[in-house]
Chains A and B, each alone.
Chain A
Amino acid sequence: MAVPAAVILARVVRDLTQEELGTSAGISQGFLSKVERGDVDLDGDRLLRVAAALKFPVEFFLQEPGSTASQTACAFPRKRNSLQISVEKRVRALLQITRLQVEPLLDDDAPPVTLERRSAEDADWISPVEMAAEVRARAGLPSGPIPNLTQLLEKLGVLVVVRDLGSRRLDALGQWPNGHRPLVLVNSTAPADRRRFTSSHELGHAVLHTTATDAQEREADQFAAALLMPPEDGRKVLRDIDIPTLERLKAQWGMSMAALIRRARDLGLVNDYRYRQLNIELSKAGRSNERVQLTPESPATLLDALARQRAAGSSSIAELAARARMTVTEFENLYLEAAS
């Protein structure tokens, strides 16, 4: 008997309406609606057809999709306001399914979670800037640029998964339910510098926020800026900046030129007039297509875990796919082809 929540999750992540799924599985929309409400059971041949239409193994539908904690914990999207609600809903479902898939695939050698959240009583006092310094200290990171931000997140126990999220209006989505790892789902279509800032931003949510607040996006941005370039570093490198200097700094610090200009303003190193002037110069040079391009970073924790298990002969591809509640084909496409 299928769990209604699993049916809904799978349908939403495949971006299908009840009508579309019904047509594809040869079931009426009305019946599917009753299934999702839990009014009727989905089993036998109809379950097989729904599973095939959604490209999930039948086993996926037989269990609750994740713990209550992972379903109810606040997820923080970094998005534009113009993002369609349906897209956001689909990506939230993708986040939940990704956690279901990835967590069971990790072995004991995966880095443990060493991050700590800001406590509720510190929320009004310990600032995002100080939390960024705390995270750097925890990771043993000296001052200076972070050569590989994804590696830093993974070292702290964060799961980073890069996927095409199907919209340029959404950069990433992150969530850290109690008893689980923080998970950041990053849009592969975003430029490398933006991906770094976005991942830092999501790390900020992980350590700063457990519930939604009015200031959450601003605070996550403040955290990201301070993590990527601590104030004392900014004061050293952002004095007297011009476009050629910014291009050099972008390559060195892995931050977009626009983010560097903003950082200089926030550290009081350029006045408002110069800030506007630099942004105009940047626009003329092509803000959305900055000349210096960075190499995108790739996560390694999951791939390393899979490689270890396959090298040890402890798990076949079919066993790994079953553990992830995925079809072998999709498992290979998403997690093995990416490795090769």
Chain B
Amino acid sequence: MTTSVRVVVDAAALLKGRLLSLGADDTVALAADIDTEHGGIVVTGAKARATVRQLRPVYPNLVLIEQPTVHEDRYATAEQPFPVEREQDGQPSLFENDPVTVESVIEAQIANGADVGVIPTGFLRAGDHAAMTAVSNGANAIKRTDVILHLPLALTWVTVEADRAKLIAAIRRSKHPVVISLAHKSDPASQTGVVDGLLALFEAVKNVGVWHSDLGTLEVLAYGGLCGAFGIRASHRHIVEPETRAFSPSKGHDKSPNVLMGALQRFKKSQAMTIDWFANGGEPSCPCPVCGNRPLNRFTASASDVLEAHRHNLHLVTDLHRGLLASPNRRAWWAELLAAAELAHMELSSATNVKIEPDPALRKRIALNPLTDFGH
């Protein structure tokens, strides 16, 4: 009989500089494309545990993390920052003799195959500083090192100075690496004050990563932060506050996949690309290994095309990530990338005779990361 001894992982060391891919069971089909040295997978959703269990034996060297979903329907409160007890209709469930604790949730994640545990924090409402204090105290009471503190946040935690100051204080005193996820019905970074607030946060603390995001994952790394987790689907590039519905497109909407356009550093639905910009041709081709110089607007809503688009997105992001890691000055690299994206918008506008402007988040990032800061 053999006994396996698990090496205790230092979560901060494991996450440092890593760009993870975040999704649900759709991560299984992408796992083979993940960079094991600098990447990994965060699995979320109802089937997260089963997905991690499925992936672990096939990819023993891949960083795997299970993200609890308690923040989707429960708030963190001063009394209960980690609302993990089983309840049905407000009553204790039949499992009340088998108490669920934060420790047991973490232990279960790791026993299931995750490399590190994620603390199951409830959603932190705007202005609820008492809940943040309880989260911080509760997390710091956990003595193990293989744990990440996940903070699912209302936008005010980065946009409103009072909340941001409290968030910064919580991250500074955290004994565990911290990752934040921002809630909005659609793209958080496009909302007023979010990019500014995030940059102020990244300037203030380095022990922080950004999950459920898009280019924000590279941004946090460019500013010396801990890690990022890039949402594979648009719905995984933000979270939603409990009792709130995400923006849902009308019936018959464009179901083609969101495709990352490398030069532009933005996503656009494949079908919308054709209609809005390339009705008269001029669509760009992509040299990534998935696309092999085929056009970016080729993806249909079929399952195989959606998967291929996700693989394309993953390859592009991985390439960008490698570029960032290799750069001696990551802030300058980021500013150059943004400036190039702005230029690419102008060039595409000129080539297509359609006015194509950076989206609000990209515009803000360009404004806040001027090349002139780096002697250009």
Cβ contacts A112-134/B at 8 Å (1 or 0 each): 00000000000011111110010
Which A residues, 120 to 167, have Cβ-Cβ distances below 8 Å to chain B?
Answer: 124-130, 133
Q: Are B173 and A268 in contact (CB under 8 A)?
A: no
Q: Is A235 among interface residues, defined by CB-CB distance under 8 A? A: yes
Q: Is A231 among interface residues, defined by CB-CB distance under 8 A? A: yes
Interface size on A, residues (CB 8 A): 23
Q: Are A127 and B126 in contact (CB under 8 A)?
A: no
Q: Can you identify 28 A-B contacts, CB atoms within 8 angstroms? A: A124-B169, A124-B172, A125-B169, A125-B173, A126-B133, A127-B129, A130-B129, A130-B130, A133-B130, A215-B165, A218-B161, A218-B162, A219-B162, A222-B161, A222-B162, A231-B125, A231-B126, A231-B127, A231-B128, A231-B129, A265-B160, A266-B156, A266-B163, A268-B126, A268-B154, A268-B155, A271-B191, A272-B192
Given contacts A268-B154, A269-B126, 10 further A-B contacts (CB under 8 A): A127-B169, A218-B161, A219-B162, A231-B126, A231-B128, A235-B126, A266-B160, A266-B162, A268-B126, A272-B191
Among residues of A, the one whose C-beta sits closest to the C-beta of B156 is A268
Q: Are B162 and A128 in contact (CB under 8 A)?
A: yes
With A125-B173, A127-B169, A272-B192 in contact, do A266 and B130 touch (Cβ < 8 Å)? Answer: no
B120 to chain A, nearest CB (A): 23
Q: Is A267 among interface residues, defined by CB-CB distance under 8 A? A: yes
A222 to B130, CA, bound (A): 14
With A124-B169, A125-B173 in contact, do A266 and B133 touch (Cβ < 8 Å)? Answer: no
Contacting residues, chain B, for A77 (C-beta < 8 A): none
Q: Are B165 and A127 in contact (CB under 8 A)?
A: yes
With A127-B162, A271-B191 in contact, do A266 and B127 touch (Cβ < 8 Å)? Answer: yes
Contacting residues, chain A, for B162 (C-beta < 8 A): 127-129, 218-219, 222, 266
Residues in A lying within 8 Å of B, measured CB to CB: 124-130, 133, 215, 218-219, 222, 226, 231, 234-235, 265-269, 271-272
Cβ contacts B160-198/A at 8 Å (1 or 0 each): 111101100100110000000000000000011100000
Among residues of A, the one whose C-beta sits closest to the C-beta of B126 is A268
A222 to B161, CA, bound (A): 9
A266 to B165, CA, bound (A): 13
Which B residues, 247 to 274, have Cβ-Cβ distances below 8 Å to chain A?
Answer: none
Residues in B lying within 8 Å of A, measured CB to CB: 125-130, 133, 154-156, 160-163, 165-166, 169, 172-173, 191-193
A130 to B165, CA, bound (A): 12
Q: Are B126 and A266 in contact (CB under 8 A)?
A: yes
A125 to B161, CA, bound (A): 14
B178 to chain A, nearest CB (A): 15
A134 to chain B, nearest CB (A): 10
A237 to chain B, nearest CB (A): 14
Contacting residues, chain A, for B166 (C-beta < 8 A): 127, 129
A219 to B156, CA, bound (A): 16
Contacting residues, chain A, for B127 (C-beta < 8 A): 129, 226, 231, 234, 266-268
A283 to chain B, nearest CB (A): 20
A130 to B133, CA, bound (A): 9
Contacting residues, chain B, for A218 (C-beta < 8 A): 161-162
Q: Are B169 and A129 in contact (CB under 8 A)?
A: no
A222 to B164, CA, bound (A): 12
A219 to B155, CA, bound (A): 20
A234 to B162, CA, bound (A): 15
Among residues of A, the one whose C-beta sits closest to the C-beta of B131 is A231
Contacting residues, chain A, for B126 (C-beta < 8 A): 231, 235, 266-269
A133 to B133, CA, bound (A): 13
B197 to chain A, nearest CB (A): 12
A124 to B204, CA, bound (A): 13
Contacting residues, chain A, for B160 (C-beta < 8 A): 265-266, 268
A266 to chain B, nearest CB (A): 5
A215 to B130, CA, bound (A): 21
A133 to chain B, nearest CB (A): 6
Contacting residues, chain B, for A271 (C-beta < 8 A): 191-192
Among residues of A, the one whose C-beta sits closest to the C-beta of B160 is A266
Among residues of B, the one whose C-beta sits closest to the C-beta of A232 is B128
Contacting residues, chain A, for B173 (C-beta < 8 A): 125
Contacting residues, chain B, for A265 (C-beta < 8 A): 160
A328 to B302, CA, bound (A): 92
Contacting residues, chain B, for A272 (C-beta < 8 A): 191-193
A215 to B161, CA, bound (A): 10
B166 to chain A, nearest CB (A): 5
Among residues of A, the one whose C-beta sits closest to the C-beta of B193 is A272
Among residues of A, the one whose C-beta sits closest to the C-beta of B170 is A125
Contacting residues, chain A, for B172 (C-beta < 8 A): 124
Contacting residues, chain A, for B128 (C-beta < 8 A): 231
A282 to B165, CA, bound (A): 30
Among residues of A, the one whose C-beta sits closest to the C-beta of B132 is A127
